[in-house]
Amino acid sequence: MARYVGYRRPENTKKTLKKLMHYMGIHKWSLILVALLVLIGSGANIFGTYLLKPVINNYILPGDIPGLIKMVIFMGIMYLCGVLATWGYNQLMVHTAQKVVSEIRQDLFDHTQKLPLSYFDAHTHGELMSRFTNDVDTITEALNNSFAMMIQSFAMITGTITMILVLSVRLSLIVIAFLILMLVFIKFNGRRSRKYFSRQQKCLGSINGFVEEMVAGQKVEKVFNHEKQDFEEFCRRNEALRESSTKALTYSGMMVPTIVSLSYINYAVSACVGGLFVLQGWLDLGSLSSYLVYVRQSAMPFNQFTQQVNFLLAALAGAERIFDMMEIEPETDQGKVHLKDKGNREFVWEVPEEGGAIQEVPLKGDVRFHDVTFGYNKKKVVLSDISLYAKPGQKIAFVGSTGAGKTTITNLINRFYEIQQGTITYDGIDIRDICKDDLRRSLAMVIQDTHLFTGTIADNIRYGKLDATDEEVREAARIANADSFIRRLPHGYDTMLHSDGANLSQGQRQLLAIARAAIASPPVLILDEATSSIDTRTERLIEKGMDALMEGRTVFVIAHRLSTVRNSEAIMVLEQGKIIERGNHDDLLEQRGRYYQLYTGQFELE
């Protein structure tokens, strides 16, 4: 017997079922054929059992051998049709279920890519991944097994009860009484097992999370000699899991033997009472034979039906979580200004005007903030009344304490978030009027938390420009000063990276991220702590290459090392979401304010 696995029930079953039926409706003819084949298979089983009555009464008892042979052949053909129907609906259901799940997964992934970054800020990666794994798997299991099984079980229950009533109403009372008894036990036992299976899932999640933390934090555990305490905590959680698992499996393990025992008792009582009926002449022998076969097969579909209801509800709960995610409003984009490539690294903005005319505005990289106020939520303002400008080709640096709003400014340029007040213009165009894809295509960003994809080093560099040639890849690596270490690897640019580049050092990973930005060759470059994981010597080498990359481009730099921002045309000192100082390196030193304190070591960034 399959068991309940601890999923919560759906909160709005009707709404979720309607959406799931929408996907299933795309393949309605396949599902109708599945249902028809299930009915044929079940019908062959039910009708074949009923044929025992005429076989015994009309052929075996009278001794009609030729007639018996014909009936056996007929029954064999009928059962063969049932077997073929069962094989057919199993194969068809597998293909149909995989198509439905594939479409759900595809729509979910497509919608996920359109969600705003604020959604990912509020949800963990594991929570999002569970939609694609656990929740999709429950739907797959339900479609593969529960859909056809529910129809088959319902048909078998309906057909069996109907046939036993046709054969003998008085004997049927015994079967109905035992079926009611089984239903009461299944309901009681199911409630208890669900309770402990739910507790088991919580304990399992707790122990898995604890083990994951301990494995990831082995160095910290050993440094502080916490092995004994952590082992005791593991034993406590393990004991809680053992207790809940034991009780859950105890109740679930009672289901099959109890139902089987009740079905045996039901069969024995029906056989004894039915034998008395035959002796009294109230029932013929053929009817009793068919009746007893129906009694033997009555418990199984009844038990299967109740089990499949649980699995169907679990699948609907998973589907509800998926559809809830798909209902979240995607990232809005009302931009009508597009970016046009005119060749030879010349780009223009296509600005629509009244009357249908298109004005071409050269892409230069002029970025300006006009009285911008922003907060990730309404309760807390991160940037307050920020005004700044970056002329084409200028290098603008932001320094300040952690949480001052430096990274937020660069996120707003990309329109990862929408501002509450003010405007941000790009070459004189409000960035809200620019299509987001085109806006982001004109920018390149190197962030502190480097992310590399599974693939070769060349593939990861080429991620910035998918149609880049091998020579362009190598040139980008040379600019980022990554070429030398890449060539020393066993397979060079064809070296495979796995697990976010775990086989490279953090500094090497950042060099590849810089190369990825270099190959994109954008007019605006954003460097957010791009050299934080690189030693000072390598940083100086990179800066030489970055100078070539930044030539003629607008560059925004965020750095804790003030040595990296000395040659910036303008340095903005932020504190609590406001620009408190601005100017070049020499001007700020003359002001003897916060930047001077930072540079001379009188004040440290927090």
Tens digits of residue pLDDT in 494-551: 999 877 777 788 778 888 888 888 888 788 888 887 666 666 666 666 666 566 666 6
- Provide the Cα torsion 24, 30, 36, 37; round to 10°: -120
Query: Residue 9: its pLDDT value, please?
Result: 59
Q: Name the residue range of residue 216's domain.
A: 169-282
Higher-pLDDT residue of 429, 508: 429
User: Do 427 and 466 belong together in one domain?
Assistant: yes
User: Do 427 and 473 belong together in one domain?
Assistant: yes
The sign of the torsion formed by the CA atoms of 585, 588, 590, 593 equals: negative
Query: Residue 37: its pLDDT value, please?
Result: 92
Confidence band of 605 (pLDDT split at 50, 70, 90): very low
471-506 pLDDT per residue, tens: 999 988 888 888 888 999 888 999 998 777 777 887
Q: Which strand (E) or helix (H) includes residue 556?
A: strand 554-558
d(CA 58, CA 384): 96
Domain CATH for 115? 1.20.1560.10
Percent of the chain surpassing pLDDT 70: 92
400 closest CA partner among 544, 251, 560, 284: 560
Mean pLDDT for the chain overall: 83
The sign of the torsion formed by the CA atoms of 77, 82, 86, 89 equals: positive
Mean per-residue pLDDT for 183-191? 80
Q: How distant, in Å, are the alpha carbons of 109, 451, 460, 502 from that of 516?
A: 25, 11, 7, 18
d(CA 566, CA 478): 24
The answer to whether position 350 is within a domain reads no
pTM comes to 0.72
The answer to whether position 340 is within a domain reads no
Percent of the chain surpassing pLDDT 90: 12
Query: Residue 6: its pLDDT value, please?
Result: 47
557-583 pLDDT per residue, tens: 887 777 778 878 888 888 888 888 888
The answer to whether position 351 is within a domain reads no
User: Do 141 and 223 belong together in one domain?
Assistant: no
d(CA 122, CA 111): 17
Mean per-residue pLDDT for 358-378? 88
Mean per-residue pLDDT for 296-320? 76
Higher-pLDDT residue of 331, 190: 331
The answer to whether position 555 is within a domain reads yes
Cβ neighbours around 437 below 10 Å, total:
11
User: Do 407 and 316 belong together in one domain?
Assistant: no
User: Do 271 and 234 belong together in one domain?
Assistant: yes
Contacts of 330 (CB under 8 A, 6+ apart): 111, 114, 115, 116
CB 568 within 8 A of CB 584: yes
40-67 pLDDT per residue, tens: 988 898 888 888 888 888 888 888 888 8
The answer to whether position 344 is within a domain reads no
Query: Residue 3: its pLDDT value, please?
Result: 43
Query: Residue 372: its pLDDT value, please?
Result: 92
Query: Residue 544: its pLDDT value, please?
Result: 64
d(CA 365, CA 368): 10
Query: Where do we find the tokens 């990232």?
Result: 331
pLDDT of 10 over the 70 cut: no
Query: Residue 363: its pLDDT value, please?
Result: 87
What is the per-residue DSSP string for 115-147? S-HHHHHHS-HHHHHHIIIIIHHHHHHIIIIIH
Paired residues of 421 in beta bridges = 373
User: Do 153 and 224 belong together in one domain?
Assistant: no
Query: Residue 277: its pLDDT value, please?
Result: 87
User: Do 371 and 316 belong together in one domain?
Assistant: no
Query: Residue 153: its pLDDT value, please?
Result: 83
d(CA 219, CA 200): 30
User: Do 593 and 476 belong together in one domain?
Assistant: yes
User: Do 87 and 226 belong together in one domain?
Assistant: no
The rounded Cα 397 to chain-centroid distance in angstroms is 38
310 closest CA partner among 255, 240, 243, 247: 255
User: Do 106 and 9 belong together in one domain?
Assistant: yes
CB 284 within 8 A of CB 57: yes
User: Do 427 and 570 belong together in one domain?
Assistant: yes
The answer to whether position 339 is within a domain reads no
The answer to whether position 341 is within a domain reads no
104-129 pLDDT per residue, tens: 999 999 998 888 887 887 776 767 78
Contacts of 26 (CB under 8 A, 6+ apart): 100, 103
Of the candidates 249, 282, 315, which is a domain's last residue?
Answer: 282
User: Do 407 and 541 belong together in one domain?
Assistant: yes
Q: Which one of 94-98, 133-137, 297-301 scores highest in mean pLDDT? A: 94-98
CB 182 within 8 A of CB 265: no
Domain CATH for 521? 3.40.50.300
pLDDT of 2 over the 60 cut: no
Confidence band of 275 (pLDDT split at 50, 70, 90): confident
Number of domains observed in the structure of the chain:
3
In this structure, the chain runs to a length of 606
The answer to whether position 477 is within a domain reads yes
Q: What is the largest CA-CA distance in the chain?
A: 121
Q: Which two tokens stand for residue 276?
A: 């008395």
Mean per-residue pLDDT for 347-372? 88
